[in-house]
Amino acid sequence: MERLAGIKWTNMEGHNAHAISMSRLMIEYLRRAALWAEVLGGPPRWPIYDIAGALAPDVRVDPELAERLEDFLIAHVGGIETENACRAVVRWATLLDTPGLRLPDLPDPFEPLLLVYERGGEVIADESRAFNFGGRSVRIKLWREHLSAEPAVSLDAATLDALDAAASG
């Protein structure tokens, strides 16, 4: 919740300045979400879905935190898709804090998506089923088409900054 609260959701300057890294991070999110979808036998919806809810439907977000999240979403986030992503992120964090729970050995699905938001604010898919970042487009394909063993990008801030610097220089 703290990371979500620290995001400038209408950060168009960041959105344009970080278009390369954001597009690569979105590809990495889609790859990771596809890996989790494979474990689940397919996602309940695509591309952004409640992975924690699909894995452990009985795990619930603390009611006070859920209320705080909803108040925050109403005040700061504009798109329903992003609101659902934020709910999924908080539920994922709750799942990770659940004692004794064993998860598949897969990368955190939401870290790349959080980095997208932190670097440039809200991102909404357009009518052509793509996420657009300053002229760079990431097409939303069927989830199986995003499966890959190789990461799309390192999540290291220096690597991401270097991608953006190379594009602007």
Question: Can you give the pLDDT at residue 24?
Answer: 96
Question: Can you give the pLDDT at residue 12?
Answer: 72
Q: Is 160's pLDDT higher than 70?
A: yes
Number of structural domains found in the chain? 1
Question: Can you give the pLDDT at residue 168?
Answer: 74
User: In this structure, are residues 36 and 149 in contact, taking their beta carbons and an 8 Å threshold?
Assistant: no
Phi, psi values for residue 105, rounded to 5°: -80, 75
Mean pLDDT of all residues in the chain?
Answer: 92
Question: Can you give the pLDDT at residue 74?
Answer: 92
Which range of residues forms the domain containing residue 104? 2-168
Higher pLDDT pick, 134 / 49:
49
Q: Which residues pair with 125 in a beta bridge?
A: 131
Summarize pLDDT for 100-151 with one digit per residue, the tens. Answer: 888 999 999 999 999 999 998 888 888 889 998 887 899 999 999 999 999 9
Question: Can you give the pLDDT at residue 68?
Answer: 95
Summarize pLDDT for 67-78 with one digit per residue, the tens. Answer: 999 999 999 988
Query: Minimal CA–CA distance to 132: which of 28, 17, 19, 45?
Result: 19
11-20, 37-46, 74-83, 98-107 — which is least confidently predicted? 11-20
Name the residue type at position 164: D
CA distances from 40 to 52, 95, 106, 114 (A): 11, 16, 12, 22
Distance CA(85)–CA(87), nearest Å, equals: 5
DSSP state of 144: G
